[in-house]
Amino acid sequence: MTILPKRTPALSIQRALTNVVFPNVRLASVITVRCLSDTSRSSPSTASTRHTPVLLTEVLDILQPRPNQWYLDATFGEGGYTEAILRTCDCRVIAIDQDPYAIEKARQMATQPEYKNRLFPILGPFGDLSQLLQRIKSPTTTDPHLPLPPNSLAGIVYDIGVCSSQIDEPSRGFSYLQDGPLDMRMASKGSQEVSERDIQTRLGRRTLPASVIVNNFTVDQLAYLFRTYGEERYALRIAQQIHTYRQKHVISTTQQLANIIYDAVPHALRQRTSGAGGGKQRRNPAARVFQSLRIYVNDELGELTKSLEYALDLLMPTGRLAVVTFHSLEDKLVKRTFQKRLSAPTDEVTSDSSPRLTYRALTKHVITPSKAETKSNPRARSAKLRAIERIPSPVNDPSDS
């Protein structure tokens, strides 16, 4: 087994674990486990309530949608941003998501009269943005706007993380409050998945559910994973408790893992709430571990890095990109990517008549939700919004010197 050095950079952990050997991996047992609380569920999309995206007003203020322009929602999810953009003006939106249920919603939405020929859903991870955009099918054979050329998008929005419907549906394997298969792959249908081949077909590559990670990584690897991606203070204690448990049992459900974590942390942290009468909410002891596994399983930081670099090149002059994150690692990654573009030399001139392009920050500091928003939607409390704009920069005239 590969032992990760303690000072391995966060973004190197995927590469460091690439060569890990998984002995005795029982994929059938960890993937086909049904939700113990309800094995008769159908598509999660049929049971969700109306979704309000985080910082929606602020995102729209940044994007300022304009008629006859193209926009990209790189994380369609419940479709809140996409719907709001399309309702603002007569524009077009490309909606990307690797969640098959999310794209199913997007396709249904695209058939509605008000969105017909204006919404283009694409199934796949946003890290493959360059390849995914080649799949866009024109509503008419003579549409001059497709395929999209470089510098053609007026706005792009990312909402990084897991959406409410994924958390609330136990069969997806994201929830530590309800029992389900320990999956956590965005591209998986969880307990409704027929075969691993279907997931591989959607993504174009093989992926591993969280159960394989939990049952096969060493104590050092698990502790590093929890500490790096979840900033978990008791990472080593939890990893050791997992190792002890898996000597006798395969960890295949979310409640198994949540209970192991609960037993591993100090007693004082096992209380769900603090204050009389169940007042102020305290973060669940399992939250950080589940977060770290989700980030690793879906390679969220690696996918975000690839996607942002390509997305910034897709912006037209005056095009804007907004990113909503929920974790410090994601926010730091976005900040570094933006700073790199802000400090980079002006883009090369593509022709004598083409303007040089550069960037400017639209958010000097991160934008966070208001108290009213966090009160109505507690999941918004950790959200941070950053935005950047691509702008034309005058070509220097030699006669001016």
Digit-coded pLDDT (tens) for 38-54: 333 334 443 334 567 99
- Residues 164 and 48: beta-carbon distance below 8 Å: yes
Mean pLDDT of the region 2-9: 39
Burial class (CB in 10 A: 0-12, 13-18, 19+), 23: exposed
Mean pLDDT of the region 253-274: 83
- Residues 302 and 11: beta-carbon distance below 8 Å: yes
Digit-coded pLDDT (tens) for 362-371: 998 999 999 9
Q: Does pLDDT of 196 surpass 90?
A: no
Interhelix angle 100-110/80-88, nearest 10 degrees: 20
CB count, 10 Å around CB of 58? 20
Residue 90 and residue 176: Cα distance in Å, rounded? 41
Residue 284 and residue 244: Cα distance in Å, rounded? 22
Q: What's this model's pTM, rounded to 2 decimal places?
A: 0.80
Q: What are the start-end ranges of the H helices in 89-174?
A: 100-110, 129-132, 164-168
Cis amide bond preceding 266, omega within 30: no
Q: Mapping DSSP to helix (H, G, I), strand (E, B) and coil, where does residue 204 land?
A: coil
Q: Which CA distances in Å does 339 have to 325, 334, 335, 392?
A: 16, 9, 6, 18
pLDDT band at residue 87 using 50, 70 and 90 as cut-offs: very high
Mean pLDDT of the region 206-222: 94
What is the model's pLDDT at position 11? 39
- Which residue bears the tokens 């929830």? 175
Mean pLDDT of the region 76-95: 96
What is the model's pLDDT at position 146? 60
Structural domains of the chain sorted by starting position, each given as residue range(s) with its CATH number in brackets: 10-40+164-298 (1.10.150.170)
Q: Of the candidates 50, 52, 79, 57, which has an alpha carbon nearest to the alpha carbon of residue 368?
A: 57
Digit-coded pLDDT (tens) for 116-157: 999 999 999 999 998 888 877 555 434 555 667 778 899 999
What is the model's pLDDT at position 333? 97
- Which residue bears the tokens 């935005």? 387
User: Who has greater pLDDT, 229 or 36?
Assistant: 229
Q: Helix (H) and strand (E) counts for the chain?
A: 16, 9
Q: Which one-letter DSSP state was computed for residue 282?
A: -
- Which residue bears the tokens 């400017």? 360
